[in-house]
Amino acid sequence: MAERHRDARDGRENPAMADERDGRDESADGDTRDSVRRAWDELVTTARRTVADGLVVGTSGNVSVRAGDTVLVTPTGVPYDRLTQDDIVGVGLDGRQVLGSLRPTSELPMHLAVYRATGARAVVHTHAAHATAVSVLVPELPLIHYMAAALGGPVRVAPYATYGTPELAENMLRALAGRSACLLQNHGTLAYGGSLDQAYDRTAQLEWMCRVWLLSSSVPGLTPALLSPDQLGEAGERLRGYGQKRQGQN
């Protein structure tokens, strides 16, 4: 599929890219193109990582990253290991395609809804198995671990809606209120962050917590001990100071 699309593009220039160059400084254009290509490389690396780490199967799930006013996003139905610089796909915040000829992911409405409503720079959507299992059992992931605080609090489940629809995007935004990740009922996960690494790490943390809850809940005759809201709040305060301080900070 990827090869067929690539053949159809040979020798053609993306009109949007040509329009953007008209009347603009060539050096500035070069810097912009370089930054977009670097962002695309990071996106492809992250997308491939979701497969390698078992968070998606085949072409399920999708990844996006914001580069200025352009949202770079994985194309629909193309295996991530086949993606190259020639397969770059970019859209404006209004959904209009401005880069590439491959069609964007069918979940584009979800990605754009996140960018419009938050300060996100990257979004990762997966069909992670344990998280999807939890999404069909409860309306909210029980407080099995304090890392829920790193996602803003108890992780909610967005009610089911058909993939790729505005309804799903609306349900997702409600579940994301005050959070940086949510579960999608009978579907998977969505997490966002200030970078692709952060969005991916939040996705992985969510899948891990779902797995821990499922494992602990499966022991006959025993009920998992859960954290209280106060305990979660205390952990959240400590997490704000977690990690290495940047140079110049006290």
Taking each continuous run of H as one helix and of E as one strand, the counts in the chain are 8, 8
CA 147 → CA 53, 82, 167, 181, 215, distances in Å?
20, 34, 29, 12, 17
194 C-beta neighbours (distance < 10 Å), count: 12
Instruction: Give catalytic status of residue 107 as yes or no.
Output: yes
CB 124 within 8 A of CB 115: no
Q: Tell me which H or E stretch contains 197.
A: helix 196-217
Measured between alpha carbons, how far is 224 from 183 in angstroms, rounded to an integer?
20
Measured between alpha carbons, how far is 85 from 89 in angstroms, rounded to an integer?
9
CB 6 within 8 A of CB 89: no
Q: Is 184 helix (H, G, I), strand (E, B) or coil?
A: strand
Catalytic-role residue among 13, 107, 140, 207: 107
Provide the annotated active-site residues.
107
